[in-house]
Amino acid sequence: MTNREQKQAVLTLDAGGTTFSFHAVNGQNDLCRPLVLPVDGHNLQSCIDTMIQGFEHLKENVEEDIIAISFAFPGPADYENGVIGDLGNLPGFRGGVPLKQILTGHFGLPVFINNDGNLFALGEATSGFLPQINHSLKETGQKRNYRNLLAVTIGTGFGGGIVIDGQMLVGDCSAGGEIWLMRHKLNSEWNAEEGVSIRSVKRHFARLTGQKQESVPEPKEIADIADNPESPDHLAARESYRLLGEVLGDALANALTLIDGAVVIGGGLAGASRHFLPSLMNELNGRINHFPRLESKAYNMENSVEATEFMRPAETMLNGQIPYILHKKIPVGISRLGTSKAVAVGAYNFAVSKLF
């Protein structure tokens, strides 16, 4: 990094339905303490005022030159032109809001907006899961280098992002990576998000325990119950997460048939990965009729045995000089940066790629 780059800052935001999380970053480094502000998603002016308040706070607390504002915002949106459409979790946005124009007018800085799944994918591809995998492969003397990444976030909703050969896939209509709209494996009338979200875990737990859904605990507590064999709801908790893993694994398998890359998972539910990764991996490595679900074998990188197996050489040499990939492998793991940090890093890298 040059001296000039060391003095540059990008202001970022990860916009959720109830909170806005602000960072001032340079590369992977936070330049001041991140700020989280509550937001009234039903009130457009409140949302805009909260954004301005957060970015102004960052400006006052960094010494570096601020070169851009770059942040994640949910869709539907026209990200290239910075116009936000009708949002489900921020209903105050209706009819097309020129957010880029509003913020550029206030701050006088270049403003870049993108989907949180896209920026999460870019952050993990440039500074998180993907370079960690490639570094480990290099340490074992292998030439294999992964360049493609499918990244998903699971929490309030089910988001996705795709990086192909180092480039973030936005799509011709700002609609790339919308994995949440895939069909739900277990209910063809639903989209996948209904099976891969906080509400799906709570719905399953309520059904399996006979409780009303509004009275069931949050997913973190359900995960704790799944860890406790003495709890009367232990099996119900485990099954709630197993079902999430099955639906998530099916959606990932469908996407991987086209993408052929590594997989990283983030979001609020990723902390319970010990409960859903087994069923997810069963989907990826399962079969349809007599055929394997994927051409490549998927490896759970959170499992030490599978991670060790993944790192074993996958190539052989034909005639002593022609490399041949004998075993096709897909690494699957949990965010190495943390979701919010990965989004901030992705936002920084996206802004720099646009400016220089």
Residue-wise pLDDT tens digits, 81-123: 999 999 887 899 988 999 999 999 999 999 999 999 999 999 9
Q: How far apart are CA 257 and CA 223, in angstroms?
A: 31
Give the position of tokens 């490595």: 285
Q: How many CB atoms lie within 10 A of CB 110?
A: 16
> Residue 88's pLDDT is what?
81
CA triplet 166, 76, 340: central angle to 5 degrees? 55
Topology at the third CATH level for domain 3-114: Nucleotidyltransferase; domain 5 (3.30.420)
Predicted confidence band of residue 315 (pLDDT cuts 50, 70, 90) = confident
Angle of the 198-209 helix axis to the 219-226 helix axis, nearest 10? 50
pLDDT at 324 over 80: yes
Numbers of helices and strands, H then E, in the chain? 11, 18
pLDDT at 4 over 60: no
> Residue 213's pLDDT is what?
87
Q: How far apart are CA 125 and CA 149, in angstroms?
A: 7
Q: Evaluate the omega torsion of the peptide bond into residue 76 and state whether it is cis, within 30 degrees of 0.
A: yes
- List of long-range contacts for 221-227, beta carbons under 8 Å, 24+ apart: 222/272, 223/271, 223/272, 223/275, 226/272, 226/275
> Residue 234's pLDDT is what?
97
Instruction: Enumerate residues 6+ apart whose C-beta is below 8 A from 177.
Output: 115, 117, 118, 121, 159, 160, 161, 162, 169, 171
State the chain's mean pLDDT as an integer: 94
> Residue 6's pLDDT is what?
61
Among 146, 204, 151, residue whose Cα is nearest residue 177: 151
Among 9, 14, 13, 15, residue whose Cα is nearest residue 28: 9
Q: How many CB atoms lie within 10 A of CB 286?
A: 14
Half-sphere exposure of 221 (CA within 13 A, CB side): 7
Residue 10 and residue 71 in contact, taking contact as beta carbons nearer than 8 Å? no
Please provide residue 152's backbone torsions phi and psi, each rounded to the nearest 5 degrees.
-130, 150
295 burial (CB, 10 Å; 0-12 / 13-18 / 19+) is exposed
Domains 3-114 and 129-336 share a fold: yes
Residue 207 and residue 243 in contact, taking contact as beta carbons nearer than 8 Å? no
What is the domain partition of the chain in residue ranges?
A: 3-114, 129-336
Predicted confidence band of residue 5 (pLDDT cuts 50, 70, 90) = low
Predicted confidence band of residue 143 (pLDDT cuts 50, 70, 90) = confident
Q: Which CATH architecture has domain 129-336?
A: 2-Layer Sandwich (3.30)
Side chain identity, residue 144: R
In tens, the pLDDT along 200-245 reads 999 999 999 999 988 999 999 999 999 999 999 999 999 999 999 9
